[in-house]
A and B are shown apart, each in its own frame.
Chain A
């Protein structure tokens, strides 16, 4: 039998939030952050949310890069708040990065995982989280001092507060339903143009 069954240890409720509303509601004013967004959904939706802010580096490939790019950036810019937004598939590809980041413990870094439980770009196959793997527990076990799970609208306010006021490395698991991310469809992400734009805006 090739069917994958949900883990018997899966204990989180079914997701109810729509990412098209939940991601903007969580991030609010993006101008407070330096941002890295993982490939596909989160890169498109942050690009749309920020109207292609020069303080956003969005990935269109190099799956698994986003959290560690955030670490390098947070260590290089300790006075700025750094936000990584990425999907469950992207995070799972380099799950060890959570352990590496927690050992460094940069207080100015927050990782948001927009977890839809699926590989949305490739045919909507179940991801490990959709089958019950708990990224919040992995983050906590890796040593993240602050971990917050957003299941419902009522959980968003604490997420918003942590983004701006947390005094420690923070992991936010934003659980959303299946369905498309906001995509303005304007253009491709060209990495060397993004790099130049980001650095020029930040460093002059």
Chain B
């Protein structure tokens, strides 16, 4: 099965914008980004044990003049809440791409509580939330998020919705 072309374009977009630290807890929705980061000798591909590690890492990268992105599933959003004190209080740029579960067409009941809480929880911590619903949304939306995060030191999450990536089959 070939990957959706937007996923390849998304990796190219991040690299063209000098993102060199890719931090993630693995998720099927991020498979292409993870695999390409592992194959790219010019970047650091950084598997995390929990998503909050990635928020702190993004802040550290910024201190050193580097650019990082945090890839996580919606369930991981619940793991990062207090760590967002660092990026909000420090006015650190934060770009995170969240692959959504627990919404459109979800077949696993365990995914709903956190999936449905993603937007209010992120917004409560001052993170700007953008939702990509269609393949043609992804590149312009992440382009916008890159500008907001790295130029204006905002914290921005782009939700790769279940409508976009497809509900996992059970």
Which segment of B27-35, B57-65, B106-114, B132-140 sits at the interface? B57-65
* CB within 8 Å for A191 and B90 given contacts A72-B61, A76-B65, A202-B64: yes
The residue of chain A having its C-beta at the shortest distance from the C-beta of B92 within the complex is A195
A21 interface contact, C-beta 8 A: no
CB interface residues, A 76-130, toward B, < 8 Å: 76-77, 80, 94, 96-97, 99-100, 103-104
Q: Tell which of A61, A72, A100 touches B60, judged by Cβ atoms closer than 8 Å.
A: A72
- DSSP majority for the A interface? helix
Contact of A100 among B46, B55, B83, B92 (CB under 8 A): B46
Instruction: With A59-B86, A75-B66, A96-B53 as known contacts, state yes or no: A65 contacts B21, CB within 8 Å.
Output: no
Given contacts A75-B21, A192-B91, contact A199 B53 (CB under 8 A): no
Size bin of chain B's contact surface: 20 to 34
Q: Closest approach, in angstroms, between the C-beta of A184 and any C-beta of chain B?
A: 22
With A100-B48, A192-B91 as contacts: A72 and B56 at CB distance below 8 Å: yes
* A2 interfacial by beta-carbon distance below 8 Å: no
A64: chain B residues at CB < 8 Å are 52, 56, 83
Given contacts A69-B59, A69-B60, A69-B63, 11 further A-B contacts (CB under 8 A): A61-B86, A62-B85, A64-B56, A67-B56, A69-B56, A71-B60, A72-B61, A72-B68, A97-B53, A100-B46, A191-B90
